[in-house]
Amino acid sequence: MQRFLDPAVLGAISGLDLVAKTVVDGFVAGLHRSPDFGFSQEFAEYRAYSPGDDLRHVDWNVFARTERAYLKRYRGETNSLLTVLLDASNSMNYTSHGVSKMDYARFTAASLFYLAIRDQRDAAGLIVFDDEVRNYIRPSTRQGQLHRLLSGLEMAEPRARTDFAKPLHHFQEFLRRRGIVLILSDFYESPEKIIRTIEPLRFHGNEVVLFHILDPKEIRPDLGEPVVLVDLETRERLEVTPEYMRTEYRGKIDAHIAALRDGARSAGMDYHLLVTDQPLDGALREYLTIRQGRN
């Protein structure tokens, strides 16, 4: 099933819902667990009965054997609130192979929505932004929510530039209820500014995860000769040489990733680097890990 998580394979699938289903089913099958994972209440522990406890929770079988009353406790199931913040700036359009960063982000978001709504019965919402908020779908568990979210993803075409500061106060308004906030972006901004901008989301009790989406050629560029590079967002031109890209650029991008990861963790947020030629299960696993930790 691993091949169904391969972005290149998913790129050939037309509908996002089918992509999401393929990914999630493949992912879940890979877990070797029940497809109903997390839905039914799970046994957690036994606790001695104390006066005032609900007798309905007493395990009478144990009482019959030991003549002692024990309460059977279950791990409580609560519905989480998932909000995906999707960066739809022009830089997300970059690709060095079949799947652009935007496609990859869409696949990831769709899969997360599918997993959250269909499997976990979580409320899920979407905010598409570039230098301002372009689309907002309120988190909900209503009928047809998945369809709305997938439509929102379909319509999220990259344009304009990334600016975290400007749409931030909108996020504050939208994210009043605590939940899980996943930010999918290539984060072409200084790490300090990104952390400073996103950190307030954490104050509301949200679990914030930065999904840093990069193309493999952005991390390890491979130029055969000097070329003129054009910035997708600013249209600025710059001639660069292969050895610069292989030496100084790599050092800079590695430092940027490291700074972003360290900054996020020190601010209590999770950071996850997603490379567009890697399978999508990393993001799903991260989401489930966080969700489980919240329960």
Q: Give dist(CA 25, CA 5) in Å, integer.
A: 10
Residues 49, 99: Cα–Cα separation, whole Å:
57
Q: At 277, give phi and psi (nearest 5°).
A: -100, 10
Enter the DSSP assignment of 58.
B
Q: Please tell me what DSSP assigns to residue 108.
A: H
Q: CB of 94: closest distance to another protein in angstroms?
A: 4
Residue 83: what are its φ and ψ, rounded to 5°? Answer: -125, 125
- Give the residue with the Cβ less far from another protein, 13 or 253: 253
- Which residue, 176 or 237, is less far from another protein as judged by CB? 237
Smallest distance from the beta carbon of 7 to another protein, in angstroms? 17
d(CA 186, CA 189): 9
Report in angstroms how near the CB of residue 280 gets to another protein at its nearest: 20
Least gap, CB of 276 to another protein (angstroms): 11
Which residues of the shown chain bind another protein in the complex (CB under 8 A)?
A: 91, 94, 101, 186, 188, 215, 218, 223-234, 236-244, 246, 248-249, 252-253, 256
Minimum separation from the CB atom of position 167 to another protein (A)? 19
Residue 67 or 236 having the CB closest to another protein: 236
CA distance 26 to 18: 12
In the chain, the amino acid numbered 239 is E
Q: Tell me 56's DSSP state.
A: G
Output 168 or 240, the one with its CB closest to another protein.
240
CA 257/CA 274 separation, integer angstroms:
11
> Would you say 182 or 213 has its CB closer to another protein?
213
